[in-house]
């Protein structure tokens, strides 16, 4: 938040402000006089007041001293004990005194509504500031000093010149019942409007703290705490009662479960005894089975021994036959080897015979091939002779072609000319295509730039649509209906303005109001009326419209050139920071004087005093602040105020519309060139196609002429070639008879060799047959031996099979015996474990007695076990912890009953406390509110209006909902309405606030009250009535101190002898602080008074 800064035109480096008491005797509270107002000049620093009580009440302000604080260099104020009127022109420093009171008494800076940091309250250019408040106290005045360090933004506290902490200061201030944060006691200028915004609850709390007895607010807080605790206890008792009932009900349900639990236990005991006997019965059964298996195993063992003895003779005979079999196998193998050797030789002879047959076949085939070649040669010779004859006939018929060369040369020249024209045309086509590609690239680049500009413009339009929907719809309507207007119509200024540098957008947005930023600009009044009728009346859109001046101000020169201002750090006027259409620029120059407002830097802010004094500029912008310079109507003094610049929101997006129009014109020119290039390219392609067709015709014509010219030469070459081929074929002759004779001789020789081979093959076959007969005889003998062997082996296998089965039976019986033996041991061990017996212990007598009454077979035991388990399973949902839980729950019920009794006793005690505290709080509060209502209604009645104050609540038991309701009526025709920030006007709220504070005045236990410029919103009649009431109320006996700050007063107002009027002067003719001497002025006054009677 920017801190206002006010400067004077005095030549001194430090501005001086003086506060004048209307009655000089008021400067010393202990020596107050009721004399007429004095004409003594103001005094900056007064001597400390006497510490006698006099008319001051405990905690009243006796003295206020300030040094380098806001607009003051050095100043000291001595208020009176009753009504203090602080009067002065706007900007002289009245509210600075209020700020000094608040900060000097440990108030928060933010409460003043000016700044949130205490350093901002130090005068600009100073590193430290000081505020000193002296409070009246019967035991000795209390002097509180607060030194402020700007650099560290810290405060240093002193009480009676001794260093202390802020917490100690707050405790001392609170002990005197001073509440600078209570709007009922301390109402600064920027918080006047917030009084009406107080809720009924907040107003009650502020009133209790302000005028109620010290214990009233404490009782109220105790009631709220007691009520909260009472609610918690009620809730706790209710929950515990419900829980106790549930516990009792649950235990009732569990009572039956406990009985069922014992019934189930009897069945489980029987099951346990049956399960204990069952292993013993099972052991006896397995033991008997073990004896039977052991006897069967011994019998099978004897049978195995007999079978093994019967297999020995068979084994010996099988071994003898096996040796005979091996001897026969060796002889058979020997015969087979001889047969294989003879068979291999037979195979070799057969292969030789096959090769001889194949050789004869090859000789016959070669003879046939030679015969076929001779027939083919004769046919080719005949064909060649016929072809030569045909070529000779064609050569005779061929005409003389020697006169074709001139025609060929002419066609060649025409073809060369056409090809040159075609090459030139193709070159031009390539150039045109390159030119078209270049233009298309340029077109794409320009379109991309236009699209980028459109995207930026869309961003600005999106911001407009989100913030001002009606204005955005009006823009869309204008773009579709521009033909309805006679002269130029500009879209909203925020869309048409384009910043040259986005960083400077904050200056424009802070200088031009938001209403004008979204306003349409017209050149003709008639066009504006048409537009507003359509969008406002017909479309119900909330839009703004302005009209540009008839004569343009857009190019109007500033009163001072920028070069003169550069020495102060200025770099531009507002107009040069952006571009805009001529009507918009003209309107802004005319309305906002943007051609006269310079923009500076941080350097400008550092020398702002010199800039204001020397340049006489009305508005100035620095890097982060705006300065407005005015001349005081009262003192003709130059007053400046500065505010921090807000962050730009709309103009940060820059769109260069002139460049965009230039790009659109450039795009149109590119499209025109593209059309021209396309037309030329089509014409060149048609010409090239025509030349291509003509080139093909000439080529074909030249080809035909060349073929005619070379045809005779080709025929002669063909005839010569064929004659050479014929000669070669005639020379390549073959004697078929000689070839046939040679082949016949070779075949006869081969047949003689074949006859010798057949004889040798016949002898080999006879030897193989003899060997095969001997081999078959041996095989028959071997077969007989094998047959006997197989029979013996079959008998042996049958005996072995019986032996294996018997042995397997023996193994199984032995394994079964071992298994039963192990099982007997396990069952014995298990039976002893079930009965908890040791290895040497016998079964106890109790088990034996119980076992006698139980079944003796497993089936009977299992049947009885199944029956008992079924009965036990009927008792579902039970477990051994049921009885334990039932017992614990009984104990818990007893404990919970005792706890509930204690809670109810505690609740009754709290209710008794609430009743006692409520009686001590509510009755005095009702009496207090009744007294406030009596005073408040009386004040309103004296103003021919009506008002009342009452204690309001919806539920008497909700002590945190109690509040004070103010209802007022300013006209006879209306009803009483609750005071709110919305229903009454600003003046009515000010009157209501003031009268409520006055109603508190006589009842107030606070030492002083401050009200700053509350009469600004009142009409003259109400202001006069309120002033009279303030004087009458605040000047009564035994009332607290009252500060009333105002910049102006009506004429002929009533005043009281008990009033103290403090005039705040500010101007260039004030005396310097070092020249002000109150004692000297008083001595001079006494001398003048003494000498006047003698004259």
Backbone angles phi, psi at 547, to 5 degrees: -120, 135
pLDDT at 120 exceeding the cut of 90: no
pLDDT of residue 1074: 65
pLDDT at 275 exceeding the cut of 80: no
pLDDT at 907 exceeding the cut of 90: no
Query: What pLDDT digit, counting tens, does each position of 59-81 carry?
Result: 889 999 998 888 888 888 889 88
- Do residues 245 and 239 lie in contact, with contact meaning Cβ atoms separated by under 8 Å? no
Terminal C-alpha separation, the chain: 61
Q: Which of 49-58, 152-161, 361-370, 443-452 has the highest mean pLDDT?
A: 152-161
Give the residue among 963, 973, 968 at the shortest CA–CA distance from 939. Answer: 968
| More confident position, 128 or 48 | 128
CA distance 580 to 589: 11
With pLDDT > 90 as the criterion, what percentage of the chain qualifies? Answer: 10
Token output for 574: 């507002």
- Do residues 1050 and 1020 lie in contact, with contact meaning Cβ atoms separated by under 8 Å? yes
Neighbours of 874 (CB within 10 A): 11
pLDDT at 132 exceeding the cut of 80: yes
Token output for 691: 């030349």
pLDDT at 586 exceeding the cut of 90: yes
CA distance 590 to 555: 11
Residue with the two structure tokens 């045109």: 432
What is the Cβ-side half-sphere exposure of residue 910, based on CA atoms within 13 angstroms?
19
- Do residues 453 and 511 lie in contact, with contact meaning Cβ atoms separated by under 8 Å? no
The pairing of beta strand 572-573 with beta strand 578-579: unpaired
Cα 376 to Cα 64, 388, 719, 934, distances in angstroms: 149, 19, 22, 155
pLDDT of residue 146: 92
Query: What pLDDT digit, counting tens, does each position of 704-750 carry?
Result: 777 766 776 777 777 788 788 777 777 776 677 777 788 888 888 88
Neighbours of 776 (CB within 10 A): 11
Give the residue among 26, 58, 57 at the shortest CA–CA distance from 40. Answer: 26
pLDDT at 364 exceeding the cut of 50: yes
| More confident position, 394 or 3 | 394
Give the residue among 971, 964, 952, 969 at the shortest CA–CA distance from 999. Answer: 964
Token output for 2: 């920017």
The pairing of beta strand 83-87 with beta strand 72-77: unpaired
Query: What pLDDT digit, counting tens, does each position of 484-513 carry?
Result: 999 999 999 988 888 888 888 899 989 999
CA distance 188 to 173: 18
DSSP 487-505: S-EEPPHHHH-EESSGGGH
Q: Which of 176-180, 542-546, 949-953 has the highest mean pLDDT?
A: 542-546
pLDDT at 542 exceeding the cut of 70: yes
Token output for 375: 């027939």
- Do residues 952 and 200 lie in contact, with contact meaning Cβ atoms separated by under 8 Å? yes
| More confident position, 98 or 19 | 98
CA distance 97 to 103: 10
Distance of CA 787 to the CA centre of its chain: 100
pLDDT of residue 874: 73
Nearest-10 crossing angle of helices 882-942, 200-211: 70
pLDDT of residue 1062: 85
- pLDDT tier, 641 (very low <50, low <70, confident <90, very high otherwise): confident
Give the residue among 63, 81, 185 at the shortest CA–CA distance from 135. Answer: 63
pLDDT of residue 1073: 61
Query: What pLDDT digit, counting tens, does each position of 135-165 carry?
Result: 988 888 899 999 998 888 888 999 988 899 9
- pLDDT tier, 634 (very low <50, low <70, confident <90, very high otherwise): low
- Do residues 987 and 1014 lie in contact, with contact meaning Cβ atoms separated by under 8 Å? no
β-strand partners of 642 = 627
| CA-based torsion, 1073, 1077, 1081, 1087: positive or negative | negative
Token output for 311: 């297999």
The pLDDT of 273-293, averaged and rounded, is: 81
Query: Cα 680–682–683 angle (5° rounding)?
Result: 65
pLDDT at 544 exceeding the cut of 50: yes
pLDDT of residue 189: 59
pLDDT of residue 541: 92
Nearest-10 crossing angle of helices 986-1001, 1020-1034: 10
* Radius of gyration of the chain from its Cα atoms, rounded to whole angstroms: 66
pLDDT at 369 exceeding the cut of 50: yes
Give the residue among 910, 903, 979, 904 at the shortest CA–CA distance from 940. Answer: 979
What is the Cβ-side half-sphere exposure of residue 71, based on CA atoms within 13 angstroms?
25
SS3 assignment, position 122:
strand
pLDDT at 527 exceeding the cut of 90: yes
The pLDDT of 930-951, averaged and rounded, is: 78
| CA-based torsion, 120, 123, 128, 134: positive or negative | negative
SS3 assignment, position 88:
coil
Query: What pLDDT digit, counting tens, does each position of 985-1006 carry?
Result: 776 777 777 777 666 665 666 7
CA distance 7 to 13: 10
The pLDDT of 1068-1072, averaged and rounded, is: 70
Token output for 286: 């397995």
What is the Cβ-side half-sphere exposure of residue 238, based on CA atoms within 13 angstroms?
6
pTM exceeds cut of 0.85 = no
Token output for 770: 């003899």
Token output for 596: 């006269």
Q: What is the mean pLDDT of the chain?
A: 78
DSSP 253-312: HHHHHHHHHHHHHHHHHHHHHHHHHHHHHHHHHHHHHHHHHHHHHHHHHHHHHHHHHHTH
Helix count and strand count (H, E) for the chain: 24, 25
CA distance 414 to 694: 10
CA distance 80 to 65: 15
- Do residues 499 and 505 lie in contact, with contact meaning Cβ atoms separated by under 8 Å? yes
**Sheet with strand 1041-1046: strands edge to edge:** 17-21, 1060-1066, 83-87, 1041-1046, 1008-1012, 186-187
Backbone angles phi, psi at 59, to 5 degrees: 95, -5
pLDDT at 46 exceeding the cut of 50: no
User: What region does 76 belong to: left with phi over 0, alpha with psi -120 to 50, or beta?
Assistant: beta
pLDDT of residue 751: 83
Distance of CA 795 to the CA centre of its chain: 96
- Do residues 918 and 958 lie in contact, with contact meaning Cβ atoms separated by under 8 Å? no
Token output for 424: 């030139």
With pLDDT > 70 as the criterion, what percentage of the chain qualifies? Answer: 86
- pLDDT tier, 6 (very low <50, low <70, confident <90, very high otherwise): very low
Token output for 984: 């009454």
Burial of 124 (0-12, 13-18, 19+ CB in 10 A): middle
Q: Which residues contact 113 (CB under 8 A, 6 or more apart)?
A: 188, 189, 190, 191
Q: What is the DSSP letter of 714?
A: H
Token output for 800: 């072995």
């Amino acid at each position: 938040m920017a801190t206002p800064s006010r400067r004077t035109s005095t030549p001194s480096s430090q501005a001086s402000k003086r506060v004048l008491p209307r009655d000089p005797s008021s400067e010393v509270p202990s020596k107050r006089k009721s004399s007429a107002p004095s004409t003594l000049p103001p005094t900056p620093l007064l001597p400390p007041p006497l510490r006698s009580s006099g008319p001051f009440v405990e905690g009243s302000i006796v003295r206020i001293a300030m040094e380098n604080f806001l607009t003051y260099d050095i100043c000291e104020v001595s208020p009176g004990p009753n009504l203090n009127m602080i009067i002065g022109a706007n900007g002289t420093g009245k509210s600075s005194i209020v700020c000094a009171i608040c900060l000097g008494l440990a108030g928060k800076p933010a409460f003043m509504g000016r700044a949130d940091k205490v350093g901002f309250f130090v005068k600009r250019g100073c590193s430290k500031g000081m505020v000193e408040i002296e409070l009246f106290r019967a035991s000795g005045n209390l002097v509180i000093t607060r030194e402020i360090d700007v650099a560290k933004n810290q405060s240093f506290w002193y009480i009676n010149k001794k260093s202390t902490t802020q917490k100690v200061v707050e405790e001392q201030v609170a002990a005197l019942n001073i509440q600078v944060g209570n709007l009922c006691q301390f109402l600064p200028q920027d918080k006047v409007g917030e009084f009406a915004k107080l809720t009924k609850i907040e107003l009650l709390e502020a009133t209790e703290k302000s005028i109620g007895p010290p214990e009233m607010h404490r009782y109220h807080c105790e009631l709220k705490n007691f009520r909260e605790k009472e609610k918690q206890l009620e809730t706790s008792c209710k929950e515990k009662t419900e829980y106790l009932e549930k516990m009792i009900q649950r235990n009732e349900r569990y009572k039956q479960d406990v009985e069922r639990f014992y019934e189930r236990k009897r069945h489980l005991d029987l099951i346990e005894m049956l399960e204990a006997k069952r292993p013993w019965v099972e052991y006896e059964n397995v033991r008997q089975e073990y004896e039977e298996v052991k006897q069967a195993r011994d019998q099978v063992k004897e049978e195995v021994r007999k079978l093994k003895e019967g297999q020995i003779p068979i084994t010996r005979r099988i071994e003898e036959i096996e040796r005979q079999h091996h001897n026969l196998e060796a002889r058979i193998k020997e015969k087979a080897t001889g047969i294989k050797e003879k068979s291999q030789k037979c195979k070799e002879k057969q292969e030789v015979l096959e090769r001889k047959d194949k050789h004869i076949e090859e000789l016959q085939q070669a003879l046939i091939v030679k015969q076929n070649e001779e027939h083919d040669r004769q046919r080719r010779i005949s064909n060649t002779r016929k072809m030569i004859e045909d070529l000779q006939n064609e050569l005779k018929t061929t005409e003389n072609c020697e006169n074709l060369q001139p025609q060929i040369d002419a066609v060649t020249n025409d073809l060369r000319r056409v090809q040159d024209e075609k090459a030139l045309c193709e070159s031009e086509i390539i150039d045109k295509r390159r030119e078209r590609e270049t233009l298309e690239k340029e077109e794409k680049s320009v379109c991309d730039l236009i699209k980028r500009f459109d995207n930026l413009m869309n961003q600005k339009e999106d911001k407009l649509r989100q913030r001002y929907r009606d204005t955005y719809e009006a823009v869309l309507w204008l773009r579709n209906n521009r033909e309805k207007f006679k002269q130029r119509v500009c879209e909203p200024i925020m869309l048409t303005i384009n910043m040259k540098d986005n960083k400077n957008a904050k200056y424009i947005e802070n200088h031009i109001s938001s209403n004008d930023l979204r306003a349409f600009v017209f050149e003709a009044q008639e066009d504006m009326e048409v537009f507003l009728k359509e969008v406002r009346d017909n479309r119900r859109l909330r839009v703004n419209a302005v009209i540009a001046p008839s004569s343009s101000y857009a190019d109007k020169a500033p009163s001072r050139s920028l070069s003169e201002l550069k020495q102060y750090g200025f770099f531009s006027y507002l107009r040069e920071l952006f571009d805009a259409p001529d009507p918009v620029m003209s309107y802004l120059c005319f309305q906002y004087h943007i051609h006269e407002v310079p923009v500076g830097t941080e350097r400008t802010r550092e020398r702002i005093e010199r800039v204001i004094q020397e340049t006489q500029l009305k508005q100035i912008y620095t890097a982060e602040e705006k300065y407005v310079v005015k001349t005081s109507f009262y003192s003709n003094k130059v007053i400046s105020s500065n505010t921090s610049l807000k962050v730009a929101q709309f103009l940060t997006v820059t769109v260069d519309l002139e460049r965009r129009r230039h790009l659109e014109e450039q795009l149109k020119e590119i499209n025109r060139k593209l059309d021209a290039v396309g037309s030329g390219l089509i014409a060149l392609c048609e010409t090239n196609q025509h030349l291509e067709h003509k080139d093909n015709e000439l080529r074909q014509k030249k080809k035909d002429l060349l073929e005619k010219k070379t045809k005779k030469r080709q025929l002669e070459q063909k005839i010569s070639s064929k004659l050479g081929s014929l000669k070669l074929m005639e020379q390549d002759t073959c004697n078929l008879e000689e070839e046939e004779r040679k082949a016949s001789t070779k075949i006869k020789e081969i047949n003689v060799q074949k006859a010798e081979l057949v004889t040798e093959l016949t002898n080999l076959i006879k030897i193989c047959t003899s060997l095969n007969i001997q081999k078959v005889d041996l095989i028959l003998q071997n077969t007989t031996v094998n047959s006997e062997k197989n029979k013996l082996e079959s008998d042996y296998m049958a005996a072995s099979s019986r032996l294996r089965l018997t042995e397997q039976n023996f193994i199984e019986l032995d394994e079964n015996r071992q298994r039963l033996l192990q099982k007997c041991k396990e069952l014995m061990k298990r039976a002893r474990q079930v009965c908890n017996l040791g290895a040497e212990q016998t079964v106890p007598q109790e088990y034996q007695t119980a076992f006698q009454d139980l079944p003796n077979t497993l089936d009977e035991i299992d049947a009885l076990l199944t029956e008992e388990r079924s009965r036990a399973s009927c008792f579902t949902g039970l477990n051994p912890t049921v009885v334990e839980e039932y017992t614990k729950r009984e104990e818990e019920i007893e404990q919970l009953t005792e706890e509930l009794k204690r809670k109810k006793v505690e609740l009754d005690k709290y209710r008794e406390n609430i009743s006692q505290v409520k009686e001590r709080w509510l009755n005095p509060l009702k009496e207090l509110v009744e007294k406030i209502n009596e005073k408040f209604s009386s004040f309103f009645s004296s103003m021919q209006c009506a008002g009342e104050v009452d204690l309001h609540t919806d539920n008497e038991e909700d002590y945190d909902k109690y509040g004070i309701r103010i209802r007022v009526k300013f006209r006879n025709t209306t009803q009483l309405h609750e005071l709110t920030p919305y229903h009454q006007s600003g003046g009515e709220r000010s009157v209501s606030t003031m009268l409520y504070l006055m109603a508190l005045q006589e009842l107030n236990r606070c030492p002083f009250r401050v009200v700053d410029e509350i009469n600004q919103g009142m009409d003259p009649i109400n202001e006069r009535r309120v002033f009279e009431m303030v004087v009458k109320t605040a000047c009564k006996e035994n009332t607290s101190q009252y500060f009333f700050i105002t910049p102006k007063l009506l004429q002929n107002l009533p005043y009281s002898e008990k009033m103290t009027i403090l005039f705040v002067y500010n101007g260039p003719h004030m005396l310097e602080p070092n020249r002000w001497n109150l004692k000297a002025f008083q001595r001079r006054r006494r001398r003048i008074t003494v000498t006047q009677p003698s004259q």
